[in-house]
Amino acid sequence: MSRSVLMQGNEACVEGALAAGMRFFAGYPITPSTEIAEACAVRLPQVGGVFIQMEDEIAGLAAVIGASVAGKKAMTATSGPGFSLKQENIGYASLAEIPCVIVDVQRCGPSTGMPTSPAQGDLMQARWGTHGDHPVIAVSPSGVQEVYSLAIRCFNLSEKYRTPVIFLMDEIVGHMREGIVIPDPDSYEVINRPLSGVSGINKTCFHVDPGEWVPRMAPFGDGERYNITGLIHDESGFPTNDHDTARKLMERLFQKISCNYDDIVQVENDMMEDAEIAVVCFGGTARAAKEAIREARSHGIRAGMFRPVTVWPFPEKELRGWIPQLKKIIMAEHNAGQMLREVQRVTEGRLPISFIGKIDGTLIRPDEILQKINEANNEKMQ
Amino acid sequence: MKKCSDLVFRYMRVDHLPQIWCPGCGNGILMRYVAAAIDDLKLEREKVVIVSGIGCSSRAAGYLDFNTIHTTHGRAIPFATGIKLARPELEVIVITGDGDCTAIGGNHLIHAARRNMELTVIVFNNNIYGMTGGQYSPTTPTGEYGTTAPYGNIDRQFDIPLLAAAAGASYTARGSAYHTQQTIKVIRDGIANPGFSLIDCLSPCPTYYGRKNKKGSAVDMMKYQRDHGITQTQWDKLSEEERKDKFIIGQLTKNDYPGYTAIYRQIIEKKRENTENKDRK
Amino acid sequence: MSKVLVLNPDWCKGCGICAAFCPTEALEIVLEKASLKENNQCILCGRCEELCPDYAVFISDTEKHS
């Protein structure tokens, strides 16, 4: 049965993760994500799970990957400097195909910046943060209810595609308190990683069956013996320098995401059906954007909001679909223009784009977006 | 005709042998001791996990026929921590090197020891960064040479078991490639110890450490271990001066402090019960 | 059941540790590989097996190998 509660975004992240089956959390305190660790410390033992506060951010993700290898759904949470420190092990989980969820509650500035102020400056880091070419899934919520449901979705994508998933929250939603409905467990799907069920030595532990995208996994201790490495490896899980093997592995890692684009990518279209002016934004910025387009509509301006919920892979197909009907795009984000680059890439100069970016720790206000909408509307008249 | 001994055949991935280590490297000898200790303890093979980091030592994980995971540089201990916490019934053994364990991974070492996490950390200590070609490590003695210490190393060296014991490890010991029975015994005792165990295993590196520091051949370096490794009893009888170039082989420290997962399990049992009771009301 | 010393030249890297620590000096390195000297003095003590980094020398039951 569903029930209504007042909840903070960071708490909702934990409750959603628990609903998805998270039973392990390892992390390190860092503002503004700390409440996630605190809530995990309280909640996990209650459901037979394990919480541990590690000695640093790097160890947090390392322990999470270890727990996942041993069969648990595992998560870590961080912010700002901590997200930088986690990058190497994100790459490990990506290449070794270990499911895990990394929550980044974005805060302002490079370095220590402004720890309690909101920003969305980790968008590109979520995509390119770890070294080497690699695919990525990153999901960004705009409110507390969505934090809950997307936390479940992050685990589902991670388990299904055996990949780290970045839950790209921001301080706006992390510290926001809202009434939300905790859904009935029967109302959402929970996906578990595909299991191999082999016993004894498994010499094909990284073999992918026809029609599948990822190798079936065997939790350590379930009766199978095999090797996992962060080196380029063959089907047996052993390191190789063979270029053919390397190419095939890397192609599959990319294709398991790109070929399942439609399953992975989600967007929110708000009043886009007849829109001529689209406000593009993600995460907590959507709150201001929604208010602005409603205000604009009340003055007869055909404005809408296009919001990538899945930010990586970037929903280019969905955005491209709106281009013919649009006159202008207003890109609003709490950074110096990171999603702007993606929008420019996708629109290929076919539309004028105006930009609102804030990097001083203040919030983009509805009236600032509305002003840009009005300007766009006036340009259209001219 | 069989290619190797029963022990090697049973516990190693023979199709991946011969291993990649240099001629005379102590790592191969020590890896066999690990297998021998596991054999002595009659551990169920599917319940043993070998975790390694990055470096020469860490290639051991690939050769041992258990659940094995070759992780990132310095992070073997936190990966192992996650595995152990997720499944406390598993026997989790970390094979690491002096650089991996005490330089880039030094923070993880002391904190896993502080928690008395139920892991057995076996350090293949060769006093040098071998994989990258001979740079000084935290266990390179002061005054000795590495490619990055061309004028002599001015750092002081870590005594790894002392460090681990001070941080809270419940078992520490030292072995060497030369001291077969003693080293197998301390690995066995370390695995059997319920808390955090640290076994410093001296491993000759004739290719880099030996060559850079005129230590002679692999044989000469093994002889050095033979002639300078002594028992605790012998050590106790020596003067400060006589101890200078000697090291103890065998158990160094041991206590009965309970392990982390054992304590955490009590929290789970208590909190789970409370929540269930609340639900019933 | 009798025992025998087995050498595996495919794995031997010729480091010389087995020969150096053989209590009866029964082994030598020839062309970078461990080999048993002609006047076989091996007492099958197994010290070479314990110290070989490459598992290229070991004591085996002959029956299993026939």
* CATH number, domain containing residue A296: 3.40.50.920
Last residue of a domain, one of A172, A187, A202: A187
Beta-sheet pairing, B67-70 with A303-308: unpaired
Beta bridge partners of A312: A138
Mean pLDDT of chain A: 96
| Contacts of C among chains (3+ CB pairs under 8 A) | B
Q: What single DSSP character describes residue C2?
A: -
pLDDT class of B3 with cuts at 50, 70, 90: confident
**Separation in Å, CA of B227 to nearest CA in chain A:** 38
Tell me: pLDDT of A141 over 50: yes
Q: What percent of chain A has pLDDT over 70?
A: 100
Is residue B69 within 8 A of residue A227, CB to CB? The reply is yes
Closest-approach residue (CA) in chain B for C5: B5
Please report the residues numbered 81 through 120 in chain B whose beta carbons come closer than 8 angstroms to any beta carbon of chain A: 81-87, 89-90, 107-108, 110-111
Is residue A261 within 8 A of residue A313, CB to CB? The reply is yes
Q: In terms of domains, do A153 and A275 share one?
A: no
**Separation in Å, CA of B165 to nearest CA in chain A:** 18
How far apart are the C-alpha atoms of A217 and A225, rounded to whole Å?
11
Say what the pLDDT of residue B1 is. 59
How far apart are the C-alpha atoms of A16 and A24, rounded to whole Å?
14
Say what the pLDDT of residue A380 is. 74
Max CA distance (Å), chain B: 75
- The three-state (H, E, C) secondary structure of chain A, written as one string: CCEEEEEEHHHHHHHHHHHHCEEEEEECCCCCCHHHHHHHHHHHHHCCCEEEECCCHHHHHHHHHHHHHCCCEEEEEECHHHHHHHHHHHHHHHHHCCCEEEEEEEEECCCCCEEEEECCCCHHHHHHCCCCCCCCEEECCCCHHHHHHHHHHHHHHHHHHCCEEEEEEEHHHHCCEEEEEECCHHHCCCCCCCECCCCEECCCCCCCCCCCCCCCECCCCCCEECEEECCCECCCCCECCCHHHHHHHHHHHHHHHHCCHHHHCCEEEECCCCCCEEEECCHHHHHHHHHHHHHHHHCCCCEEEEEECEEECCCHHHHHHHHHHCCEEEEEECCCCHHHHHHHHHHCCCCCEEEEECCCCCCCCHHHHHHHHHHHHHHHHC
Domain C3-65 -> CATH class: alpha beta
Please report the residues numbered 5 through 64 in chain C whose beta carbons come closer than 8 angstroms to any beta carbon of chain B: 6, 8, 10-11, 13-17, 20-21, 49-56, 58-60, 64
Over range B234-246, report the average pLDDT. 96
**pLDDT tens digits, one per residue of A49-102:** 999 999 999 999 999 999 999 999 999 999 999 999 999 999 999 999 999 999
Q: What percent of chain B has pLDDT over 70?
A: 98
Domain annotation for chain B: domains and CATH numbers: 6-280 (3.40.50.970)
Q: In terms of domains, do A148 and A23 share one?
A: yes
Tell me: pLDDT of C64 over 70: no
Tell me: pLDDT of B280 over 80: no
Chain B environment of A76 (Cβ under 8 Å): none
Max CA distance (Å), chain C: 33
Residue position matching structure tokens 């909640």: A43
**pLDDT tens digits, one per residue of B44-101:** 999 999 999 999 999 999 999 999 999 999 999 999 999 999 999 999 999 999 999 9
Q: In terms of domains, do A175 and A54 share one?
A: yes
Query: Which of B60, B187, B165, B40 lies closest to B121, judged by CA?
Result: B187
In a domain, A25, yes or no: yes
Over range C4-30, report the average pLDDT. 97
Tell me: pLDDT of C65 over 70: no
Asked if the interface predicted TM-score (ipTM) of this complex is over 0.95, the answer is yes
Beta-sheet pairing, A277-280 with A303-308: parallel
Tell me: pLDDT of C57 over 90: yes
Beta bridge partners of B52: B70, B95
Domain region containing A293: 268-381
How far apart are the C-alpha atoms of A339 and A336, rounded to whole Å?
9
Q: Which value, to the nearest 10 degrees, does the dihedral of the CA atoms of residues A36, A38, A42, A44 take?
A: 40
Element (H, E) at B187: helix B180-192
Q: Do A220 and B61 touch (CB under 8 A)?
A: no
Radius of gyration of chain C (CA): 11
Phi/psi for C57 (5° steps) reads -140, 130
Tokens for A45?
């033992």
Q: Does A45 touch chain B (CB under 8 A)?
A: yes
Phi/psi for A354 (5° steps) reads -110, 155
Query: Which of B104, B91, B25 lies closest to B60, judged by CA?
Result: B25
Chain A environment of B70 (Cβ under 8 Å): 227-231, 239
**pLDDT tens digits, one per residue of A252-266:** 999 999 999 999 999
Tell me: pLDDT of B205 over 50: yes
Mean pLDDT of chain C: 92
In a domain, A238, yes or no: no
Tell me: pLDDT of B112 over 60: yes
Over range B194-211, report the average pLDDT. 97
Higher pLDDT, C12 or B1: C12
**pLDDT tens digits, one per residue of B170-180:** 999 999 999 99
The answer to whether the Cα torsion of B83, B61, B259, B102 is positive or negative is: negative
In a domain, A245, yes or no: no
**pLDDT tens digits, one per residue of A155-194:** 999 999 999 999 999 999 999 999 999 999 999 999 999 9
Tokens for A130?
């770890």
Q: Do A62 and B51 touch (CB under 8 A)?
A: no
Last residue of a domain, one of A163, A187, A211: A187
Say what the pLDDT of residue B2 is. 74
Residue position matching structure tokens 């370095």: A111
Tell me: pLDDT of C66 over 50: no
Chain C environment of B8 (Cβ under 8 Å): 55, 58
Q: Does A231 touch chain B (CB under 8 A)?
A: yes
Q: Do A226 and B82 touch (CB under 8 A)?
A: no
In a domain, A218, yes or no: no
In a domain, A369, yes or no: yes
Say what the pLDDT of residue B275 is. 75
Give how many domains chain A has, as a whole number. 2
Mean pLDDT of chain B: 96
Closest-approach residue (CA) in chain A for B111: A55
